[in-house]
Structure 1
Amino acid sequence: MATDLLSGALADLRADAVVTGHFSLTAPWAFDKPAVEGAVFRTGFGEPYIISVEGMAPLRVEPGDFVLLPHGHAHVLASAAGVAPERFDDLVARAGIRPSFDTPLRLNAGGGGAVCDLYTGIVFYREAVRNPLFSVLPPLIHVRKHDAAVGSWLADTLMSFIRESMACQPGWAVAAARLADVLLVQLLRAHLASAISHTGWLRGLMDPQIGRAIAQLHRHPERDWTVESLAATAGMSRSRFSARFVELVEETPIGHLTAYRMYVASGALRDSRRRLIEIATSVGYASEKAFIRAFRRWSGMAPKQYARSLRDVTYVPHPAAASPH
């Protein structure tokens, strides 16, 4: 059931921009990267490496494994535990490289020992912060090369992305962005299939009864849902359903419904041809006034102002993101 809803959760999430890099690193090496505004993914060949994210135990990543940092958390990469890291920006500057957002970064660094070839990318999603799936993803996702959920298609997609982005042929930026969309879905699919535990509504989705209610809520956000009708869908009493929903999803059923409706509406606002009342009714609001009030609470701005910001502003990542890692 979780994978059935993956397409819906990511249907209108599109990469706005991508930056990529290839680092040939010889042991010993280590560097730290500050947080970035995009989703970071990478794979390495040759020697394994260690990744450390604050608040999590250091993780050994084997050749051919995939790592995804959905929220772009700050982290340290190293050839082995105990190697003192240096700032990535200092490493790049010492190599005489001036990072450019529209050019892949190629870097050779390290102490001259065993080689780790690291391919990496940062994918920028303007709406990721409000995406219901992104909101419950952990800081770090590790997909092992030999996981049962990983097929040859994942490696094929990643290598296609690497070749397309590093070659810089005409139209590469668009092609790389679309391949990044496919790659993200495949990585998340493998994560959902292999992860032992989930958080938020993903954890609720794994529960047979709560998952049934979430699935119906996501498929039909326009319905006049109440706690009672959602509980009936789950085949539970109202009190038991509410308690179980909050325990698993960590928000109330109506709170989750409202957030999901607003996310769907935010996507619909991209289409300037749609009337506001049409969008409002499509997510379960009978009046524009009620919809505007709910949307303002969710986004901090009125729907029309939000729509103008989507149409008038071309997304440009923060300059610090021009150093892909």
Structure 2
Amino acid sequence: MATDLLSAALADLRADAVVTGHFSLAGAWAFRKPAIEGVMFRTGRGAPFYVIVQGMEPLCVEPGDFVLLPHGHEHILASAPDVPAVPFDDLAARAGIRPSFDTPLRLESGRGGAVCDLYTGIVFYREAVRNPLFSVLPPLIHVRANDPAVGPWLADTLMAFIRESMACQPGWAVAAARLADVLFVQLLRAHLASAVSHTGWLRGLMDPQIGRAIAQLHRHPEQDWTVESLAAIAGMSRSRFSARFVELVEETPIGHLTSYRMYIASGALRDSRRRLIEIAMSVGYASEKAFIRAFRRWAGMAPKQYARSVRDPYDMALAAGARESEGASHTL
């Protein structure tokens, strides 16, 4: 049951744009990467490296390990935790490189000592902020190369993703985006298989009783669910079910139902051929007025305004990169 529901959540993810880089770094090095509205991948060959996210202990990444920053947090990449970090722009300037968002980046820096071949990537997902899966992912996911949940195909997929993006052959953007989807799914599967604990609705999903209710709620969000009907599926009293749901999921059952309905509706609004009442009914609202009111509370704007705000995926990613690129900043 849990696997099926996770598959449904992952099936909605589609990369809009990707960009990658390959850094050959020798000796002592450290640079700071700014936050960005995208998912960051990190892996390396040769010497190990460290990832340092504020508020977390420095993480040593061994050759072949994978690091995923689902929320694009600011972080430091370094050969050792005690090496003073410089802004990434400074490192690029020393190498005579002016980064460009839509061009894969190759950079060599330093001399002497062990060499780390660092492979980086950013993947932009339009609806990551509102995707119910993203909302429960931690700031950093570390998948070790020797983890039993990791198969040889994971490394192959990552390197294919890097090579496809770096080569920039005709059609590379689409090919790299599809490979990024596969890579992201595989990394999440490995993480979920090995994680000791989960948060939010993933934690609720792992509970035998609450998980049954969440599964039905997600499979049929258009139904007229009540706390009583969901509690019956869980085989619990109304009060005990509500308390347990809030304890695990950290929101009420109806609050979670509304959030999930609005997420589905936000995806449907991309299709200009669908009528608003059709979308409203598909997520359990009998009138446009009630749906518009709920959607406005969730998104901060009316459905039609939201639909108009959805731009071309590449332009959206390019604009995000431009915001981070003021002053020649790059986000890899």
TM-score for the superposition, normalised by structure 2: 0.95
Amino acid at match of 1:210: I
The share of aligned pairs that are identical, in percent, is 83
Q: Match for residue 307 of structure 1?
A: 307
Contact 1:120 1:324 in 2 (8 A): no
Q: Deviations over 1:82-137 (max 9, x none)?
A: 11111111000111101112211011113421011111101111211111000111
TM-score for the superposition, normalised by structure 1: 0.97
Query: In the aligned structure 1, how far is the partner of 2:114 from the partner of 2:202?
Result: 40
- Distance change in 2, residues 1:169/1:70 (3 Å): same
1:312 deviates by: 6.7
Query: In the aligned structure 2, how far is the partner of 1:210 from the partner of 1:82?
Result: 45
Query: In the aligned structure 2, how far is the partner of 1:259 from the partner of 1:112?
Result: 53
Aligned residue pairs, count: 325
Contact 2:44 2:63 in 1 (8 A): yes
Q: Match for residue 246 of structure 2?
A: 246
Query: In the aligned structure 2, how far is the partner of 1:298 from the partner of 1:71?
Result: 20
SS at match of 1:130: coil
Query: In the aligned structure 2, how far is the partner of 1:204 from the partner of 1:164?
Result: 38
Q: Match for residue 27 of structure 2?
A: 27
- Distance change in 2, residues 1:106/1:312 (3 Å): closer
Q: Match for residue 157 of structure 1?
A: 157
Which 4+ residue blocks in structure 1 deviate beyond 6 angstroms?
Answer: none
1:167 deviates by: 1.1
Equivalences for 1:1-325 in 2 at 5 Å? 1-310=1-310, 314-315=315-316, 316=318, 317-319=320-322, 320=324, 323-325=330-332
Query: In the aligned structure 1, how far is the partner of 2:215 from the partner of 2:146?
Result: 30
Structure 1 unaligned runs (5+)? none
SS at match of 2:126: coil
Q: Deviations over 1:283-313 (max 9, x none)?
A: 0111111000000101111111111222578
Contact 1:39 1:71 in 2 (8 A): yes
